[in-house]
Amino acid sequence: MDRHSEQREAVPGAAERWYARLLEADCPDADRAACARWRAADPAHEAAWRELDRLWQHSATAARHPAVAAAALRALHYTPPAPWYRRQTWLWPAAAVAVAAVAVLAILPHWRAAAPAPGTTYSTAIGQQRSVNLPDGTTVTLDTQSSLVVRYDAHERSVDLLRGRAQFSVRANPQRPFVVHVGNGTITDVGTVFQVRTGKDCTGITLIEGELDIAASAPDHATERVSLHSGKQLWFDRSGHISPVQPADLQAAEGWTEGKLFVHDWKLPDLLAEMNRYNRTQVSIGDPALDAIRISGVFDSHDPHTMLQLLQRGWPIRARDDGSHHVVLLAAKQR
* pLDDT tens-digit map of 11-64: 777 887 787 777 665 678 788 888 888 888 888 888 888 777 766 655 544 444
Query: Same domain for 311 and 204?
Result: no
| 203 closest CA partner among 226, 227, 181 | 181
Query: Same domain for 267 and 284?
Result: yes
| End-of-domain residue from the set 68, 87, 114 | 114
Residue 332 predicted with pLDDT over 60: yes
Query: Same domain for 10 and 106?
Result: yes
Count structural domains, the chain. Answer: 3
Q: Could you tell me the residue range of the domain that residue 234 belongs to?
A: 120-251
Query: Same domain for 125 and 46?
Result: no
Average pLDDT of the residues of the chain: 81
Query: Same domain for 154 and 275?
Result: no
- Out of 24-38, 66-80, 163-177, 272-286, least confident range: 66-80
Q: What are phi and psi of 19, to 5 degrees?
A: -65, -45
Query: Same domain for 185 and 226?
Result: yes
Distance of CA 49 to the CA centre of its chain: 13
| 122 closest CA partner among 110, 113, 130, 114 | 130
CA distance 174 to 86: 48
* pLDDT tens-digit map of 97-152: 455 555 555 555 555 444 444 588 999 999 999 999 998 999 999 999 999 999 98
Query: Same domain for 10 and 70?
Result: yes
Domain at 174, CATH number: 2.60.120.1440
| End-of-domain residue from the set 96, 114, 132 | 114
Put simply, whether the predicted model's pTM sits higher than 0.85 gets the answer: no
DSSP string, 146-200: -EEEEEE-SS-EEEEEEESEEEEEPPP-TTS-EEEEETTEEEEESS-EEEEEE-S
Query: Same domain for 173 and 241?
Result: yes
Calculate mean pLDDT across residues 183-189.
92
Query: Same domain for 174 and 245?
Result: yes
| End-of-domain residue from the set 227, 251, 275 | 251
Asked if 155 contacts 128 with a C-beta cutoff of 8 angstroms, the reply is no
Query: Same domain for 270 and 241?
Result: no
Query: Same domain for 245 and 169?
Result: yes
| Residues ≥6 apart with Cβ < 8 Å to 115 | 51, 151, 153
Domain at 271, CATH number: 3.55.50.30
pLDDT of amino acid 107:
54
Residue 89 predicted with pLDDT over 50: no
Query: Same domain for 7 and 25?
Result: yes
> Which phi-psi region, left, alpha or beta, contains residue 262 (left: φ > 0; alpha: ψ -120 to 50)?
beta
